[in-house]
Amino acid sequence: MPYVLNKKTGMDYKQTERLLQRKGLKKTKLRHALIRYFIKTQHAQSYADIKLALTEATDKSTLYRNLTAFEQAGLIHSINDHSGVTKYAFGEAPIQGNEHAHFVCECCETVYCMDGLAPLQLDVPKGFKANKVQTIIRGTCADC
């Protein structure tokens, strides 16, 4: 069961716009910029990363609210890599049976989404019921 780098969803700009519309989200400058940014970037991005990269991101609460809205719309998913800051990456949250793992480079702190099979047959104690597994792999990435 090998892990492979996530090739991103095949979604293009038009599709994401249609998705926003379907979710009742209006088109705004910031949202345009955010979608372009998430399609372009290869790895998970933090609030600070986005703030730094986009001149359109002027207000903290607006940006956070948009990240939340995008996540609820299934356009991005959030990742907790134990660094203390939430990161966001393009693509829907992995669903059960189609988990993806997050690889955190201990050298450059980059977070990669990796597709793979469900990481393990969940065999938990009596009375416990497992719903999903979140896997974080730590190591060194190809660039380090």
If one asks whether residue 64 binds DNA (CB under 7 A), the answer comes out as yes
Question: Quick one: how far is CA 23 from the chain centroid?
Answer: 19
How far is Cα 18 from Cα 24, in angstroms, rounded to an integer? 10
How far is Cα 13 from Cα 42, in angstroms, rounded to an integer? 16
Interacting residue ranges for a copy of itself, rule: CB under 8 A: 1-5, 80, 82, 103, 106, 114, 119-143
If one asks whether residue 69 binds DNA (CB under 7 A), the answer comes out as yes
Residue 136 touches which of a copy of itself, DNA, none (CB < 5 to 8 A by kind)? Answer: a copy of itself
CA proximity to 104, closest of 126, 82, 133: 82
Q: What is the DSSP string of 70-121?
A: HHHHTSEEEEE-SSSSEEEEESPPPPTTS-EEEEEETTT--EEEEE-S-S--
- Of the candidates 59, 82, 93, 139, which one interacts with DNA according to CB under 7 A? 59
- Nearest distance, CB of residue 1 and DNA, angstroms: 31
Q: Which is nearer to a copy of itself, 52 or 122 (CB)?
A: 122
If one asks whether residue 86 binds DNA (CB under 7 A), the answer comes out as yes
- Nearest distance, CB of residue 20 and a copy of itself, angstroms: 27
How far is Cα 42 from Cα 79, in angstroms, rounded to an integer? 14
- Of the candidates 7, 14, 22, 26, which one interacts with DNA according to CB under 7 A? 26
- Nearest distance, CB of residue 119 and DNA, angstroms: 25
CA proximity to 139, closest of 109, 115, 113: 109
Give the footprint of DNA on this chain (CB under 7 A). 21, 24-31, 46-48, 58-62, 64-66, 68-69, 84-86
